[in-house]
Amino acid sequence: MKSIQMVDLVSQYDRFKEEIKTEIDKVLDSASFINGPSVKEFQKGLENYLNVKHVIPCANGTDALQVIMMAYDFPKGSEVIVPSFTYVATVEVIALLGLIPVFVEVYPDTFNIDLDDVRSKITDKTVAIAPVHLYGQCAHMEPIMKIANEFGLKVFEDTAQAIGAEYTFSNGKKAKAGTIGHAGATSFFPSKNLGAYGDGGAIMTNDDDLAKKLRMIVNHGQSERYYHDSIGVNSRLDSIQAAILKVKLKYLDHYNQARQLVAKRYNEAFASTDEIIAPMTANYTNHVYHQYTVKLKDESKRDALNKYLATFEIPSMIYYPVPNHLQKAYSYYGYTNGDMPNTEDLCSRVISFPIHTEMEAAQQNLIIEKVLEFCSK
Ligand SMILES: *Cc1c(COP(=O)(O)O)cnc(C)c1O
C-alpha cells in the first residue's frame, strides 16, 4: 500500500504524465511563457465548462478576490460581510483595501454563511457580501442574492474550494459555483480540486463592463500598452500553468466524482458511530469535497484522534483551528471570544480526513478502521 496523504498529487500526475508533458513542451518550444496561446485556450475552456461569459485568469485565488474588490473602488471604511469560518484570504483582501470585514456566523451543519446573521449585520456602510463555498458545497446563493438585491449589495463568491460544484435554484435551474454572484474568485493552488503545478487563479463574471475593468486591473490598470487608466496590479496566470490546467480541466468532473465516492464510503462507515458527525450536503447544492470534514461529538478528543491516526501514518488536518474574528491580525476590529459561538465551536470540533482523486480502497479501509477503533475506545 502506498503511503497515505491528505492529497496525492504524485499519483495523479502519473496517470496523465504524457499528456501534461506534451502540453508543457509546447510552451517550452514556443518560449511564450507569458500570455501564450494556452492561457486563452484555458480561459475559453473554463468559460465553457462553467457556462459563464467571462473568465479572467490571474496569479492566484487571493489576487482574484482582491482584484474584484479593487474594481468596485468602494469608499474606504465600507463594510464587506464575510464568514469568520473561512481561509484567511477572503478576509485579508478586504482589510488590505481599507474596507472593513464584518464577520458573520456559518450554519453548523453545512459550514456555510448564515443568512439571518448576514441580515442582522447589514448597515448603511455595507457594500458587499462575500460568501465562501466552504469545503466544496455551495452557500445558499438564491436567498443571498435576494438579500443583496434588497439592500443594493454586491456578491463576491469565493469558490476556491468548490470549482465544479453546482447550485440548484428553487425553479430547478442550475448554475456552477462562482457564476451566480456579481463575480466569483477561484484558486488553482496545487491541492485545490483543479490544481496547477504552481500558483494560479481566476475571476468569473457575466458582467461585460466589470470584465473589462478586471482585465485592466490584472494588467497594471492598462487600457492600451503604456496607457494606465487605473491603479492595477501585476497578476497573471503563466502559460505553463495554463497548459497544465487545460489538460486537467478535461478531468475535473471525473476528479470530483472520485472525491464524491471517497466521501460516500466515509459517510457509510461513520454512520456506525455516534462519535463522528459526518458532513451534511444541503439540498440546493452538490458537494465536490475539496475537504472531507467531520465534527467530533466530543471536542476534547480531537487532538488525541489526530495523534492516534498519526501513529499509523494517517494524516488528518484541522481546517481551521482559529476563527478569523479571533486572529491576532484582525484584533483591531474588536471581536472577542463568544461573539460567534457556532464558528468558535466548529473550530474546536472539526477534523478533516484524507480525500483525493487517487485514494485506494486499502488506504481508505485503514483510515476508516483506525478512526472507528479510536471511537470505540
Ligand atoms: C485556497 C483558498 C484561497 C486562496 O487561494 P490562493 O490561490 O492560495 O491565493 C482563498 N479562499 C479560500 C476559501 C481558499 O481555500
* Ligand 1 contact via 62 beta carbon (within 6 Å): yes
Closest atom of ligand 1 to 65 CA is 10
Q: Please give the distance, rounded to the nearest whole angstrom, from the Cα atom of residue 85 to the centre of ligand 1.
A: 13
Q: Ligand 1 in contact with 200 (CB < 6 A)?
A: no
Does 377 have pLDDT greater than 90?
A: no
Residue nearest to atom 10 of ligand 1 (CA): 89
Residue-range domains of the chain with CATH: 9-249 (3.40.640.10), 252-375 (3.90.1150.10)
Sign of CA dihedral 55, 61, 67, 69: positive
Whether residue 132 has its Cβ less than 6 Å from ligand 1:
yes
CB-CB neighbours of 60 under 10 Å? 23
pLDDT at 34 over 90: yes
| pLDDT higher than 90, residue 113 | yes
Q: Is any ligand 1 atom within 6 A of the Cβ of residue 61?
A: yes
Q: Is the pLDDT of residue 155 over 90?
A: yes
Segment 62-89 mean pLDDT = 98
Question: Cell 465516492 identifies what position?
Answer: 261
The reported pLDDT for the residue numbered 26 is 97
Q: What is the pLDDT of residues 301-332, one digit of tens each?
A: 999 999 999 999 999 999 999 999 999 999 99
Nearest atom in ligand 1 to the alpha carbon of residue 134 is 13
For residue 128, report the phi and psi dihedrals to the nearest 5 degrees.
-155, 160
CB 194 within 8 A of CB 246: no
201 touches ligand 1 (CB under 6 Å):
yes
Average pLDDT over residues 107-130: 98
**58, 86, 189: which to mutate for ligand 1, most atoms within 8 A of CB?**
189
What are the CA-CA distances from residue 112 to residues 223, 229, 242, 375 (Å)?
Answer: 38, 37, 30, 27
